[in-house]
Amino acid sequence: MKIAKYWEKTEGTALNRDGQMYRTTCWGGSSESTEQALQLARAKLRHWARLVQEQPDPFDTYGYEHGEIREELVEEITGANGTLIGAITRNGYGVLVLNTPRLLIADVDTQPAGLVDRLKARFTSGATPKARRVAEIQAFHAHHPELALTVFETYAGLRVFLTNQWHEPEAHTARQLMIALGADPLYQRLCQSQHCYRARLSPKPWRCGTTRPPNRYPREPGQAEQAYTRWLAGYSHHAAGYAVCRPLLTLGPDQQDEDTTRLMALHQAMTVRPGDLPLA
């Protein structure tokens, strides 16, 4: 996983081929030291300056290939043998995210069911987009009964866990499985770039009646930190009335190792709420 404990930034300017001036801030992240983080930030700045010379809009590709997750590290999760099996971070719009390097998680987006879809599903044999996607996953599993899949409903689709096999995100088998399960293409690319799968653990702010954070991590001490603390208190109050997931179905053998069981229990505890709370 490309999750860093230390972050440093550097700023710079560069001229493109047409003489237009660009200015940017580059962040470097390291799990070792602030010095290494600053070195990486400077290396990114040099890379960015070269891109400015080579293409009209350097921001189309800059930074994506680095894949570091510039998020606040909230908790590290160790496995039975003491190795790191996951981490909880807080992302740019303020929600908690589970990151794990081997437990395959497929984020499957569907179009939200509108009034027409709901009426068709109720009065005809038609199915909602989510129901069709579930049927596709079930059909895939019928050809691969050896796989253990746990499927959750989310606000905009489904979340699928493969719980009896480990697959590193950048591996060819992982890419094949993600495609077969219908994972969102951008999510697949992020997993490969960041060397981890990701699952949101808390509601999106705009879906539970509040705003995004006033600033992004790392924050300057003082007013910026205080503004964020106030935002977090308000967000937590609003988020308490929502869930992130609802369990839908499990498919395949009941086989989980100790590390998978721990990660799945954490996910369940943080995303599924008692009662019929709305998803956000």
pTM for this predicted structure: 0.84
Predicted local distance difference test score (pLDDT) of residue 64: 41
- DSSP assigned state of 125: S
Cβ atoms of 73 and 87 within 8 Å: the answer is yes
Cβ atoms of 140 and 133 within 8 Å: the answer is no
Predicted local distance difference test score (pLDDT) of residue 47: 87
User: Cα separation of 165 and 187, whole Å?
Assistant: 20
What are the pLDDT digits (tens) for 205-231?
A: 999 999 999 999 999 899 999 999 999
* Residue whose entry in the numeric block shows the structure tokens 């498919």: 251
Q: How many CB atoms lie within 10 A of CB 35?
A: 11
What are the pLDDT digits (tens) for 173-189?
A: 999 999 999 999 999 99
Predicted local distance difference test score (pLDDT) of residue 140: 98
H-type helices in 161-248, by residue range? 172-181, 185-194, 223-239
Confidence of residue 196 (pLDDT cuts 50, 70, 90): very high
Q: How many CB atoms lie within 10 A of CB 174?
A: 23
Report residue 202 CA to chain centroid gap: 11
Element (H, E) at 115: helix 115-123
Predicted local distance difference test score (pLDDT) of residue 120: 53
What are the pLDDT digits (tens) for 125-156?
A: 557 889 999 999 999 999 999 999 999 999 99
Predicted local distance difference test score (pLDDT) of residue 111: 67
User: Cα separation of 169 and 165, whole Å?
Assistant: 12
Predicted local distance difference test score (pLDDT) of residue 2: 83
State yes or no: pLDDT of 117 exceeds 60.
no
218: cis peptide before it, omega within 30°?
A: yes
Show the tokens assigned to 132: 């069709």
